[in-house]
Structure 1
Amino acid sequence: MSLFKIFDVAGSGMAAQSLRLNVVASNLANADSVAGSPDAAYRAREPLFAAVQRQWQGAQAQDGADGVQVRGITESAAPVKAQYEPGNPMADADGYVYASNVNPVEELVNMISASRSYQSNVEAMNTARQLMLKTLTLGN
């Protein structure tokens, strides 16, 4: 395995975790939003990731993954919360507004996890860079 491939793998991981952080930020920004119907209420979103395996020309299938690919973003199937607020201008005919199904505690845990994963990929890239620089100075 080439040391240059490490940059591709870590780079795809950083891009995936950056997207994950953006989704978490969107979820937290909409955590307190309400709507006039259950269908219009904001639902928590989650990115779907997949390990990418590439075969190089003439090479055998590899056991390890070559990076991360974003497959899409899904919405949570958890029910939205109905709140009785007849004075709210967004209330339906029965006086209910529907709050998002975002769980702020879960989102904060996701944020910490994504941030640490991003940092781990940065450290992997820095270590590979240092190894390459040390390799260049071996002959001197």
Structure 2
Amino acid sequence: MRALIQRVSDASVTVDGRVTGQIGPGLLVLVCAMQGDDAATAEKLAARVARLRIFRDEGGKMNRSVLDTGGEALVVSQFTLAADTRSGNRPGFSSAAAPELGEALYQAFAGALGDLGIPVAMGEFGADMQVALTNSGPVAIWLDSADRS
């Protein structure tokens, strides 16, 4: 799985004019399931996201996790994180998981974050979404489960 994590002051996602998810301080997590991923992959990535120390401590250093700060997470599915741009001008997405598996792993990832004690809001899988955020820092971190065993 791949995730783009942004530290935010606030974030929301809107579908067809209605807000489906909204958070205050915490993380906006754009997530994509890849071919070969499974529920264990989703759980491991959720644990990495939950423990990622990208919030400032009392000394101003990025030394605290969303768990440490009591922050929230807005989880949004984004298959375009699977983009292959190695050739041509049109990205390919063939390495993304099939939609049925992608949705199941998206739900599993969000559920695993919630199981760790993080309040989770969500987008709507497969929908045309508008995502609004205030990136704090700015801080944006890319994680790929294939980069770590």
Q: TM-score, normalised by structure 2?
A: 0.23
More helix by share: 1
Higher relative contact order (CA 8 A, sep 6+): 2
Q: TM-score, normalised by structure 1?
A: 0.24
